[in-house]
Amino acid sequence: MRPGCKGCMEVDTEAEVERLWKRMKLREGEAVSDAVYEARVAACESCEALLGGSTCRHCGCLVRYRARLTDGVCPCPGGSMWEELVKKGIP
């Protein structure tokens, strides 16, 4: 991999996120359900701040990684893209 922006790297983002998850030693409750994860990712995919299909312009994180964490938050300064999910009962 060449150095630079995560969104600009020539990597398979889905595979990279999966590799990171397998390496982590998560305890019970540290990862959200698949349904919550998919809803969060869909919200990020509709956001103008998504760079290269993988990276959040506001914080530089890989959105698929942040969306998996129970304590993950949407860093959008204009208001969380995930706030609507919470209103619908999706944490």
pLDDT in tens, 15-27: 777 777 777 767 7
Residue that the structure tokens 């698929």 belong to: 64
For range 4-9, the mean pLDDT: 51
Q: In the prediction, which pLDDT does 43 show? A: 94
Q: Where are the domains of the chain?
A: 29-91
Residues 59 and 75 sit within 8 Å (Cβ to Cβ): yes
> Please, are residues 64 and 14 in contact by the beta-carbon 8 Å criterion?
yes
Q: What is the pLDDT of residues 25-54, one digit of tens each?
A: 677 788 888 899 999 999 999 999 998 888
Mean pLDDT of the chain: 80
Q: What is the pTM of this model?
A: 0.75
Q: Report the C-alpha gap between 20 and 31 in whole angstroms.
A: 13
| Closest C-alpha among 34, 51, 42 to residue 82 | 42
